[in-house]
Amino acid sequence: MQKRLLGKSGLEVSALGLGCMGLSFSYEVRPEKTDAIKLLHAAVDRGVTFFDTAEVYGPYTNEELLGEAFAGMRQKLVIATKFAFNIKPDDVPGKHELNSRPEHIREVVDQSLKRLRTDYIDLLYQHRVDPKVPIEDVAGTVKDLIAAGKVRHFGLSEAGAETIRRAHAVQPVAALQSEYSLWWRALEAEIIPLLEELGIGLVPFSPLGRGFLTGTVKSVENISAKDFRASLPRFSSEAIAANQALVTMLEKIAAEHKATPAQIALAWLLGQKPWVVPIPGTTKLHRLEENLRAIDLPLTPADIAEITRAAEQVKVIGGRYPEALAAMTQK
């Protein structure tokens, strides 16, 4: 397995990580716990060292799953988790109140450590920026947790440029986690140059467009009403139909390289910068293996440029999130 460094942080991880959310959250069909643990073990066996979770996934059950699965092998893995919300039993998923007050961060970290069955968190992200709490207070709290040995690296998720700069001035940010793929390239204008300037790694989530770039979503009939994607503007009938042009382009290029659309999409991301580490999620072993083969796909810089030009000919329609969730991003 190839390794990559997340910026200048010194944090080394496998070139592809595994986004674990779907093992216990958001999708209608989720694996039994024993099957989810088998998948996590299979990822480790294949060289994956970087695993992404969050307290809100479940909530709580995803961290508990990783804690159980990785008992006895913790030292060789890099586990990332996140804070940012008040989580109440009667909350509607995706509508939790933001809370990044310092006392709440400290409380949440202690709870996450227990669920993960560990005494340190490799990478702790603020899941969403809380406009009620100065980012300097957030970064300072994580800095204290690093000094205490409970956390090793600080990350931000879906943060804007000003927030990243201010946070980094207090406690160096190891990684930014944000959506980035051939389906969503807004980071290229301002965020990616800033990350390069500051030496911060990028961890793209949804690198396969929440499954769309695999070519398996041809219509809304492929998405259950209980699947969280049913609420996303990009998965409306109109958007799916219009955006198929991007999948068609990927399928054509994939055929030329004897690869799959998913592998081309991931290889394109890996070819952007050496400090980009995508975290595709899956519940299926064959998809995990398919994704990992993208690491060794021999795309040249010319191939990457060709894919970029082809993608630029397709106008992607539909927002990433409903209005309320969209308001939490890029602060």
Q: Residue 91 pLDDT more than 90?
A: no
* Domain extent at residue 125: 3-326
Question: Is residue 331 domain-resident?
Answer: no
Residues above pLDDT 70, as percent of the chain: 96
| pTM over 0.85, yes/no | yes
Q: What span, in angstroms and rounded, lies between the C-alpha atoms of 219 and 122?
A: 39
Residue 261 sits at φ, ψ, to 5 deg, of -55, -40
Question: Is residue 175 domain-resident?
Answer: yes
Q: What span, in angstroms and rounded, lies between the C-alpha atoms of 198 and 207?
A: 23
Question: Is residue 135 domain-resident?
Answer: yes
How many folded domains does the chain comprise? Answer: 1
Residue 85 pairs with which residues in a beta bridge? 98
Q: What pLDDT, on the 0 to 100 scale, is given for residue 90?
A: 74
Domain CATH for 69: 3.20.20.100
Question: Is residue 299 domain-resident?
Answer: yes
Catalytic residue selected from 27, 57, 125, 180 = 57
Q: Annotated catalytic, 27?
A: no
Neighbours of 269 (CB within 10 A): 23
Q: Which two tokens stand for residue 180?
A: 């980035």
Mind listing the pLDDT tens digit for each residue in 241-298? 999 999 999 999 999 999 999 999 999 999 999 999 999 999 999 999 999 999 999 8
Question: Is residue 185 domain-resident?
Answer: yes
Mind listing the pLDDT tens digit for each residue in 34-46? 999 999 999 999 9
